[in-house]
Every structure is written in structure tokens, then in C-alpha cells.
Chains A and B, each alone.
Chain A
Amino acid sequence: MNILLAAILKVVGVYAFVGANAFVLIWLERKVSAYIQRRYGPLRVGGPAGIFQSAADILKLLAKEDFVPGGADRWLWVLAPVVSVLPAVLVYLVLPVGRTFTLQNLNIGLLFFASVTSFTLLGIFMAGWGSNNKYSLLGAMRAGAQLFSYEIPLILSTIGVVLLSGSLQLQTIVSAQTQHGWFVFEQIIGFIVFFVASLAELNRTPFDLSEGESELVAGYFTEYSGMRWAMFAIAEYSNLFTTSALAVALFFGGWHGPWLPGWVWFLLKSYILVFVGMWIRWTLPRVRIDQLMDLGWKFLFPLSVANILGTAFVLMVR
């Protein structure tokens, strides 16, 4: 009974966090973009700095007509947002939030993370194919090529950390850093590759080709509106947080930090990385599909392999 209760609490907690996270990040993105573009951003909805703008957004989306485009593959179309939210929620299972606080401290935490996030592609593909819209299809195809290409450097770039800490368990990786020092210093190449690849994984500028507005209207979710669209947005912002959180766990010592409780450090570091992602998004233009592929296969992939070999060599010599 206790186990069941704990499981229910965990599930509710994760969903509550996903919701709250999207709530905060949508507001933050508006404010950050406004700050970068010398605007004010939301000001009027709910108290200072428009902090309830996200609530207004969500209410608006809820009130919209539930619309299925004619000619859409109904099942694929309806299921696609759900399928893309699922991996976004599942990855919270292994995040090492605090010293003793992980929902499920899996032995293969890192592997679990990598394998679950690759499911994101499924939702995007279902949306792109099911919409019966050429822009959606193009967006999904781009996303397919992009996510597949960047999955590889993303995973390879973490192997250096695995070699240093000797574990795939995220909690162990973090505790290794409390003694050893943050891995970002030794694994700076790994971190750069990881960060660039994760921007591509998240479909964010400069790699937002699958939803590139000026080319593909809105890419794979062109036909979506209302709550179904909101689910894509929630998944996107959840992924943004979890990927940053993974980077923090792997390279920035996770919950490790003085004075404050561990989970505060963990959230703080994660949100700083999220901010950096937003900063990049609102600064850079978009790359082209062939440049994207070149960057992935000809630069990041060899670099991450070299990083693994270099790390292994240093460990062997030591």
C-alpha cells in the first residue's frame, strides 16, 4: 500500500512539476526574449511583470475549438501530442535532484535518459504524417534527420563523463563530482558537444529547422491548435528543462554546492542553463539543413569520438 501511495505521489509530483515548469518557462521565455529585444514583455496579467501570463495563455488554449483537420489521419493526429509528452515526463524518473532525492535511482540512468528522449521523434513523426499537410510533413522529415543525427554526438559526448566516474547511474556521477571536481573542466569538449547537440535535439534556434517559421509556417505542428498544441509546447519546455538538468548532473556537479540545499542548487543551475538556451535562441539566425547535417556529422561526431579516445588515453596513462 505504501509503495502504491509513494508511486502515485511521484507521478502526481512529476506532472505537477511539468506543469509548473511549463508555466514558469513560458513566462520566462517571453520575458527573456522581451529583454533581449528591448521590449517589456507581459506586464499586465496578474501582478508584477505579468507573472500570470502563462495562466492566461493556457486558459485561452483550453477555450479553443478542438479541431481535427479534414483528411488528417485521425488516430495518429490525436495521439501525437500525447506521445510527445510521454518521454518528456518519463525522464524525470532518473534526474538526481538532491543528495538523497531521485525518483528512481536506476543503474542505467544515463542510458534510460538517452533512450527515452529518442522517443520524442515518434510524436513529431506522427504529427507530421497525420496532419496531411505538406509543411508538417517537411517539418517532420527535417526533425527526423536532425534528431537522428544529433542523438549520436549527444550520447557520445557523455561517455567521457561515464569513463571518469565509472558509472551510468546519475546519482553516482554527481557524487563523483563532489570529490573529483565538476567534470565541465576536464570534459569541456564533451560539454560543448553536448550543449550544441542538445539545442538541436530540442529543436531550438539556431537549429529550429523542423518548425522554422519563415520556411515551414510552424513545421510539424502547423495544423495543431488549442490544448493539443499546448501539449507540444509543454513537452518542448519540459525537454528544455530536463536536458539542461542532465547537463547540470553530468558536467556541473548536479546538486553539489555550498550553503544552499542540494535541490536548490540543482534547480538554480538548470535554470541558468535554460536561460543560456533562451539567450541563444533569441540571438542567432537559423542554419540550413545541409549545414546542420555537416555540423552534426563532420564536426560534432568526430569531436565527440576524439573526446572519448582522449579521455580514455588519459585515464589509462594515469
Chain B
Amino acid sequence: MAEQAVVVAGPDGDGQLMTINMGPQHPSTHGVLRLIVTLDGEVVVRVVPDIGYLHRNFEKIVEGWAYPGIVPFSDRNDYLAAIANEVAVCLAVEKLTDIEVPPRAVYLRVLFSELQRILSHILFYGTFGMDLGAFSPFMYAFRERELGYTLMEKATGARMLYAYNRLGGLRNDVSEPWLRELEGYLDYLERQAWPEYMGLLIDNQIYRERTIGVGKLTPEQAIAWGASGPVLRATGVPWDVRKSAPYLCYDRLEFDVPVGKNGDTYDSAMVRMLEIKQSARLIRQVLRLLPDGPVLAKVRPTVKPRAGEYYSRVESPRGEVGVYLVSDGSSRPYRLKWRAPSFCHLQLVPAMSEGWKLADLVAAVGSLDVIMGEVDR
């Protein structure tokens, strides 16, 4: 995106503007985001997000791939919520192929989606603290994240990009001891780590001064820009795909959807912190209700969905991940459109930060929790 030569008179009216490039290599841009920031002193006059540094041509490449191969590749989109991506693809293909997923696999998909959400939100907590200049919360976040990833590794064999979902279920079952271990992890997380997080950062006065009222969004704005997930819920809109359009077995589980009031960065972080608790609650229910049986349905090696189209959506930690699949009846998709929540959220950056200070821009971008792998695809 070319920088347009527009001279804007700044708030102090002297018209002395400075344009700086934040990124693609910059400590606070969460990957390879480039922000073209026009500053008037400390005040952000204009900010243009520039994307495309992590483009991998996902949507076009998969048009040439057989369906089972798309699932592992989709991991790379939102690499902090790989399970959510896999589930989104699987749901679409399974719907069009009429594959019946065994109930145990459905429950386990919920379990892994929620564990993934916890891990993603923990990382958000760490990086958001770092964006605000507090380095220690990051280390505390990584302590629990490490334990969580070890759990994931024990169950799936991989730490970040699992390739765990198959069309028709999951690759392998989980063991009983693993489930007990997971329960222990949740106990530890809720009783010890979560209050520690709150005390370390969220309840801090400086943190509150830095986030309350900063990067404020109205519900109308958020909806107009296509925001979803915690960013939308922070504005007070109780929209959660798990509740509003239930998939898997979410309609059979009890959980609350935390919403904010002001739509500022404080609320958006707070919504995520509360969602950690809700996800733990969901996992506990799954542990109680988990049925026995196989985890993988019998699926023919060549998956050929019927001709047609289907839009599957799941609630990833960042918002609504949508897969719009158009099939022409062959073993390869005719078209697969990926709806990435981070892409929509990144467009909010100017609305949230123009007219604010440079430090608020960093806080705003941090609170959106964008994943560049998902934005560029």
C-alpha cells in the first residue's frame, strides 16, 4: 500500500509531521505487521497497516490439494489456535461429505479447542503486558503456556501445529491418565496462575491508567468493521459463535459469554481473562461427559464431497473463523475462502488509535491480538 501524500494539520496545528515505519521488524508488531504511522510529536495523526509479509497463498494452493491435506496446512493460518482452524475445515468438508463424526471425537474436539483457547489467551496476556512495558507477566504467561503445550504434545504429538484432526474425527484417542493430568493443570491454572495474573498486571494501577478508555470502540463501529470474538464482546455485544450458532456439542454444554462495557483495551483484555475461566469450565464438563467409543469414523481414502457450498464457522480465540467451501464434486475444492478474524480486526487500528499517543497505538494493536499468519494467509 503506497503512502499517500496527504499533509494533515496536527492537533497543535504546526503541520510538522513525521512518518515512521513500525515494522515489519519491530518489537511490538506481533509478527510481520508494518504500520505506517504519521506522528505529530507523540500524537498519531494517521496510521496505515500494511500487510502481506507472511503471505503463503493458502486459498489458491488448496484448490489443487486433496481434502485431507488441507487440514494440516490450515494449522498455519492462526498458528496459536491451530485446532480451531482444523475444526473449521473439517466441519465444512464433513458436512458436504456426510461424514458422521463419532461422539467421543466431537467432545474431544471441544476439549482441544478450549485448551487451545486457554493457551492463546495466556499468550495474549503475556504479550499485551509486554506491549505496555511490563516484561515479567510475559515470563509468567510462558510458564503456564509451557505446561499446556506439553499436555498438547503428549496428546497430539506436536506442540503448535498439531495436524490432529482428521476428516471424520481425530487421529488418535487420548489416554485416561492424560485426562487426569489435564484436570490437574486446570486446577493449578484456576487456583494459582489466574489470580497471579490478575495481581501481576490487570489490577495494577499503571496498567489500568494505560488501558481504560484507550482504543475505545462503539458496538456499532465494531459490527460495521466485522469485528468478532473478544474485540466485539468487549463492546458489550454478546456474540459468540459457540452460543449464537452452536457447532460440535457446544449447545449441550453450559458456559457464559463474558462481555465488556466500554469497548476499550481494558475490557478486551478482561474478556479474554474471563474466557480462560469459562474454557476451563467447558473442559471440566467435557471430562465429565466424555463418551466412550472410537474417535475416527470410517472414511474412504479419497474424500469427494457432493457438489455444493457450505460455510462453517467456529469461535477461535480471536473471533469467528469461517471456511466457505465450494465443491464441484471432485476430490479437490473448487474454492475455499478463509474468513480470518484478525484481518477484520486489523482494520480497526486506525479507528482505535488515530488522535491518541504512540504508546496507545501499541496498546490498541496489542489488544486486538492479531496473528499475521491469519491476516496474510
Contact = CB atoms under 8 A, between A and B. Distances in A.
Interface string A218-237: 00000000000000000000
B58 to A, nearest CB: 29
Interface stretch (B47-55, B96-104, B127-135): B127-135
Interface string A66-107: 000000000000000000000000000000000000000000
B368 to A, nearest CB: 15
B218 to A, nearest CB: 23
A287 B210 CA distance: 7
B143 A38 contact: yes
B27 interface: yes
Contacts of B204: 284-285
Contacts of B130: 214
Interface string A274-296: 00000000111111111100000
Contacts of B131: 214
A50 to B, nearest CB: 18
A33 B140 CA distance: 12
Contacts of A290: 42, 357
Interface stretch (B159-167, B251-259, B358-366): B358-366
B20 A285 contact: no
A158 to B, nearest CB: 26
B136 A283 contact: yes
A57 interface: no
Contacts of A135: 20
B262 to A, nearest CB: 18
B360 A288 contact: yes
A134 B133 CA distance: 20
Interface stretch (A160-168, A204-212, A254-262, A297-305): A204-212
A188 interface: no
A285 B357 CA distance: 16
A165 B193 CA distance: 49
Interface residues of A, number: 29
Given A287-B206, A288-B359, A289-B359, A214 B139 contact: no
Contact of B136 (A142, A215, A282, A288): A282
Given A284-B204, A287-B206, A214 B362 contact: yes
A135 to B, nearest CB: 7
A37 B133 contact: no
Interface string B275-291: 00000000000000000
A213 interface: yes
A158 B18 CA distance: 39
Interface residues on B, range: 20 to 34
Contact of B42 (A37, A206, A284, A289): A289
Nearest to A36: B136
A39 B139 CA distance: 8
A28 B14 CA distance: 46
B41 to A, nearest CB: 8
A213 B136 contact: no
A217 interface: yes
B40 to A, nearest CB: 12
A212 B359 contact: yes
A29 to B, nearest CB: 12
B28 interface: yes
Contacts of A206: 133, 206
Contact of A214 (B133, B136, B201): B133
Interface string A178-215: 00000000000000000000000000011011001111
Contacts of A142: 42
Contacts of B201: 285
Contact of B357 (A38, A283, A289): A289
B26 interface: yes
Contacts of B73: none
Contacts of B140: 37-38
Contacts of A141: 41
Contacts of A282: 135-136
Interface string B139-160: 1100100000000000000000
Given A38-B139, A39-B139, A214-B362, A285 B134 contact: yes
Given A285-B206, A287-B210, A37 B359 contact: no
Q: Which of A138, A213, A214 has the most CB of B within 10 A?
A: A214
- The listed residue with most B CB atoms (<10 A of its CB), out of A135, A208, A215, A290, is A215
Interface string A119-137: 0000000000000001100
Contacts of A285: 129, 132-134, 201, 204, 206-207, 210
Interface in B262-303: none
Interface in A24-66: 33, 36-39
Contacts of B359: 209, 212, 215, 286, 288-289
B209 interface: yes
A37 B201 CA distance: 13
B42 A214 contact: no
A172 to B, nearest CB: 38
Given A37-B136, A134-B20, A135-B20, A213 B27 contact: yes
Contact of A288 (B39, B129, B357): B357
B133 A205 contact: yes
A82 B133 CA distance: 28
Contacts of B39: 138
B10 to A, nearest CB: 15
14 contacts: A33-B136, A37-B139, A38-B140, A138-B39, A209-B359, A214-B133, A217-B26, A284-B134, A284-B204, A286-B132, A286-B133, A286-B134, A286-B210, A290-B357
Given A284-B133, A286-B134, 16 more contacts: A33-B135, A36-B136, A38-B139, A38-B140, A39-B139, A134-B18, A205-B133, A213-B27, A214-B28, A215-B28, A215-B358, A283-B200, A284-B204, A285-B210, A289-B359, A291-B210
Interface of A: 33, 36-39, 134-135, 138, 141-142, 205-206, 208-209, 212-215, 217, 282-291
Interface of B: 18, 20, 26-28, 39, 41-42, 129-136, 139-140, 143, 200-201, 204, 206-207, 209-210, 357-360, 362, 366
